[in-house]
Amino acid sequence: MTIPIAIEAKGLSKGFQQETGEVVQVLDGFNLTVKSGETVCIFGANGCGKTTLLGICGGIENPDSGSITVLGAMAPHARVGYVPQAYGESLFPWMSLLDNVAFPLRVCGSGWNEARGQAAQLLQEFAPSLVATKYSYQYSGGQKQVSAVARALVASPRLLIADEPFSALDHSARIAAQDVFVSLVDRLQLTVVAVTHDVKDAIYIADRVLIVSGPPLRVVDEVAVALPRPRPPSIRASATFLSLVSRAIDSFLAAQT
Amino acid sequence: MKLTRALLIPVIAALLWIIVTELHLVSELFLPGPFAVIRSLFSLVVTGNVISDLLLTVGRVFVGFFSAVLIGVPVGAVMGLSNGVRKLMEPSIDVLRSIPTTAMLPLFMLLLGIGDKSIVALVAVPCLWTMIMNTMYGVANGSKARRDIARLYRASRLQTLVYVVIPDSLPFVVAGLRLGMALALHMAIAAEMIAGARVGLGRRLFDAEMLLRVPEMYALLLITGALGYTLNRGLVAFERAVVHWSGR
């Protein structure tokens, strides 16, 4: 049986004009295919175009040329959860955490009570330590990040796009959040495209890691992560995991030279 | 501790005032003693003479200020939401708000006559520019990250406006209210002095100076300062209650 395609991007190009008038070509004929249910992590240096690619996949940026089909529809589209890089700023400081998480359900047609009920249920599972009645500015960076991930998951998306979803978390919170994240992704059969600057994050959550450089963005290597799912936390200490980490780092370093 | 710190400079100033006047370092014609001013203040309040002036000034401030808010906030919001409207209106507004408001008094007196209407117009005009510009900037310069979230979840225009754009712009609007209120009181006092008002704090201040009732003039200055302080504290409390996230 053929696995359906979740994202098909062909020949994406996108340039940004600098203050000097010079145009920096961030994407130049970039292609990407992500299968349904697959988790793809993009690992590369700052400023190479990863966030722009995610913005286009999420429908919040338009390419200058090229085409993208997401979940069978031309972008922009519904059923996409998005964790932006500016996760803290993206939360609404005038709303409680519960209302922030409930927001996608509210704008998709649910009443506030129903939306809050579902949001509370998700928070109970994903971030039980957070007090849902507080405002987002009363939380730490890590707690805001967890809230942004919860908001992205609440509307049962089929595709989750995450820009450095664990970057603000300390080591133990990161491990815990990754475990919950991976189990939710498996349970909800989500397709995930995530950007990360931590190669261990990438190998732990992904089926495939794209090592990229740029601009313009290009894939310099692709690491297939043949680790079992569901992934036990102990897999991080296995020889296979460590050898995949080592290979990804080697490719990344080779791309920088 | 906080109160002690806040009172430190006023207490030092009062002591210096007593010393300067008791030693006759400055003529009483220019600086009467604090006790003479307090006596005058007490007399103004107890006889109720100043209350009608105070109420009239506050009334002019409120009518001018709220008229400006009622017109300025929607106009600023439309300019912030629509680039086309902004490009159409901003150059004209920039020219108009460059005219010193007091320079428009002769025009208002010609069009509206001498008295309350001209005073209220003089109060309203600078507040209007402030409300338009602050609201426009607040609406146009909201957080892109937050608007992206609304766009991603396909929020309707109305939902985006209600849940994202309006709350995001509120800190700018409320900052405009505070600026506008300060301007409104300044303009009301100035206009009462020069635009033919028969009553009002500005008129009374002017008369006290003209008739050399210097302690009364200082007492009226204290009342005017207290009024400005009270209006500002009221708006600060409003800001904390309504836009609790501002600056955090």
Contact A59 B155 (CB under 8 A): no
Sheet holding A73-74, edge to edge: A23-35, A5-17, A65-70, A73-74
Output DSSP code: residue B164. Answer: I
Contact B146 A92 (CB under 8 A): yes
Residue B95's pLDDT is 94
The stretches of chain B forming alpha helices (DSSP H) are 2-22, 34-47, 49-81, 83-98, 105-112, 116-140, 144-152, 157-160, 166-194, 201-210, 214-242
What is the separation, in whole angstroms, between the first and last Cα of chain B? Answer: 25
Nearest to A94 among B156, B159, B245 (CB): B245
Residue A1's pLDDT is 58
Please give chain A's pLDDT, 257 residues, in tens.
567 888 999 999 999 888 888 888 999 999 999 998 899 999 988 888 898 999 998 888 899 999 998 887 755 555 788 888 888 889 999 999 999 999 999 988 888 999 999 999 988 887 777 777 889 888 887 788 888 888 998 888 889 998 887 777 788 878 877 887 788 888 888 899 999 888 888 899 899 999 998 788 999 889 998 888 888 888 888 999 999 999 989 888 887 77
Distance from the Cα of A108 to chain B's closest Cα (Å) equals 7
Domain of A28, CATH number, reads 3.40.50.300
For A16, the enclosing helix (H) or strand (E) is strand A5-17
Residues of B in Cβ contact (< 8 Å) with A93? 245, 248
| Residue A128, SS3 per DSSP | coil
Residue A74 in tokens = 């031309």
Search chain B and give the residue with CA nearest A102: B153
Distance from the Cα of A194 to chain B's closest Cα (Å) equals 16
Q: Which residue numbers of B have CB closer than 8 Å to A's CBs?
A: 143, 145-146, 148-156, 159, 163-164, 167, 170, 243-245, 248
Mean pLDDT check: name the lowest of A115-124, A179-188, B84-93, B151-160: A179-188
Output DSSP code: residue A3. Answer: P
The Cα angle at residue A239 between residues A234 and A244, in degrees rounded to 5: 100
Q: What is the ipTM of this complex?
A: 0.79
Residues of A in Cβ contact (< 8 Å) with B156? 107
* Gap between the Cα atoms of B227 and B221, Å rounded: 10
Q: What is the DSSP string of B82-141?
A: -HHHHHHHHHHHHHHHHS-GGGGHHHHHHHH-SSHHHHHHHHHHHHHHHHHHHHHHHHHT
Contact A210, A193 (CB under 8 A): no
| Surface of A (85-114) touching B: CB under 8 A | 86, 89-94, 103-104, 106-108
Contact A107 B156 (CB under 8 A): yes
**A57 inside domain:** yes
**A124 inside domain:** no
Our count of domains for chain A comes to 1
Contact A107 B248 (CB under 8 A): no
Residue ranges making up the domain that contains A44: 5-79+157-256
Give the pairing of strands A65-70 and A208-213. unpaired
Residues of B in Cβ contact (< 8 Å) with A137? 245, 248
Domains of chain B: 36-242 (1.10.3720.10)
Residue A2's pLDDT is 67
- pTM to 2 decimal places: 0.80
Residue B196's pLDDT is 73
